[in-house]
């Protein structure tokens, strides 16, 4: 039975955990707001007011006696995308709103979904396949594609182990593209490869295409503030990516 301020504060904290996780795996903002509203109503709230952007969520819960509870959550968003986790979160929210699980079970499943790790081998193999395939698609030969596969592995390791040391995606894209660009240019000079084809193939692994699509989706769905924020971020990330490769090309004289 929910009847104390402590209970509602705990509920709000759990709802914010759920919302933060949704944003971090690539959920659209209006879906986040709608889901958190439904979750609050399932706990017996008379009214829910939810405001979310890419790095902040504010939730206000109003109960039957008119008491108002409000919490906000500021978090770091890297505009990641994990559709597997997103589907699990959607399924979990439906179960909670349908009264199938208790609050403790709800919290436990949130923790389990959050702690799940992606299959590193599959991600690495996917990066290799994408890098090589894009190189061939854009006019490279088999040797160019093989080089792109090797550097796709390098990009994977940078994403998996170096990203944590970068303050944001702008710096990560700039440094990663410069490092990979230097390597591609050096190998291309030694092995007479088409550096431009290899770069084009591997740059596709770093371009924030999904983040850009999400920004357009938010704009079209009426979340103007979030859409503009995401759009500006992705444009700057793409610019940093281009600058990194250009600096590498200039440094190597290719």
| Domain range list for the chain | 5-115, 120-252
Average pLDDT over residues 122-141: 93
Average pLDDT over residues 242-248: 93
Residue 89: the pLDDT is: 95
- Write down the residue that tokens 């969520």 correspond to: 57
The CA dihedral of 72, 57, 115, 26, to the nearest 10 degrees, is: -170
Long-range Cβ pairs for the range 3-9 (8 Å, 24+): 5/67, 5/69, 8/61, 8/63, 8/67, 8/69, 9/69, 9/71
pLDDT at 12 over 50: yes
Does residue 13 contact residue 71 with C-beta atoms inside 8 Å?
A: yes
Average pLDDT over residues 210-239: 86
pLDDT at 145 over 90: yes
Residue 1: the pLDDT is: 46
pLDDT digits 0-9 by tens, 26-51:
888 888 999 999 999 999 899 999 99
pLDDT at 201 over 80: yes
Residue 202: the pLDDT is: 92
What tokens appear for 1 in the block?
């039975």
Strand partners, 51: 58
Average pLDDT over residues 55-76: 90
pTM over the 0.85 mark = no
SS3 label, residue 57: strand
pLDDT at 164 over 80: no
What percent of the chain clears pLDDT 70, i.e. is strictly above it? 95
> HSE of 240 in the Cβ direction (CA atoms, 13 Å)?
18
Count the residues in the chain.
Answer: 254
Q: pLDDT-based confidence at 8, cuts 50/70/90?
A: confident
Mean predicted lDDT score pLDDT of the chain: 89
């Amino acid at each position: 039975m929910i009847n104390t301020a402590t209970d509602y504060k705990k509920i709000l904290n759990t709802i914010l955990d759920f919302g933060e996780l949704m944003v971090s795996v690539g959920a659209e903002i209006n879906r986040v707001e709608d889901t958190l509203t439904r979750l609050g109503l399932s706990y017996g709230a008379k009214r829910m007011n939810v405001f979310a952007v890419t790095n902040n969520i504010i939730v206000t819960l109003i109960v039957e006696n008119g008491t108002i509870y409000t919490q906000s959550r500021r978090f770091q968003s890297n505009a990641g995308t994990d559709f597997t986790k997103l589907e699990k979160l959607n399924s979990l929210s439906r179960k909670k709103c349908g009264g199938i699980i208790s609050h403790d079970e709800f919290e436990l499943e949130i923790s389990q979904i959050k702690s799940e790790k992606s299959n590193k081998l599959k991600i690495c193999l996917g990066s290799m396949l994408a890098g090589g395939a894009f190189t061939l698609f854009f006019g490279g030969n088999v040797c160019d594609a093989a080089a792109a596969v090797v550097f796709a592995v390098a990009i994977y390791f940078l994403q998996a182990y170096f990203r944590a040391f970068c303050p944001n995606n702008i710096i990560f894209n700039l440094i990663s593209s410069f490092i990979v660009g230097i390597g591609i240019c050096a190998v291309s000079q030694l092995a007479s490869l088409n550096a431009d084809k290899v770069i084009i193939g591997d740059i596709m692994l770093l371009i924030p295409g999904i983040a850009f699509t999400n920004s357009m989706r938010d704009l079209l769905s009426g979340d103007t503030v979030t859409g503009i924020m995401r759009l500006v971020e992705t444009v700057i990330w793409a610019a940093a990516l281009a600058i990194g490769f250009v600096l590498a090309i200039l440094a190597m004289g290719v």
